[in-house]
Amino acid sequence: MKISLNELAFSPIPARLQGLENVLLSSQQRQKKTQLMAIRSVESQLDPLPAAR
């Protein structure tokens, strides 16, 4: 069975793909968390002592 991109864009996700969607969303969240932690680490090295203004 073929599913066109237009059908996917404008229709609810078929039940058989919902599990895959959940896996992809959770892996995306983990990736974002890892990237955010890396950015914070670099930021802390660039400015270890915040200037008091």
pLDDT at 49: 66
What lies within 8 Å, CB to CB, of 14 at 6+ separation is: 3
**Per-residue pLDDT tens listing for the chain (53 residues):** 566 666 666 667 677 777 888 888 888 888 899 999 999 998 888 866 666 55
pLDDT at 50: 62
Cα distances from 35 to residues 5, 25, 49, in angstroms, run: 30, 15, 22
Q: Contact, 13 vs 21, CB < 8 A?
A: yes
Distance, in Å, from the CA atom of 43 to the CA atom of 20, rounded to the nearest integer, reads 35
The model scores a pTM over 0.75:
no
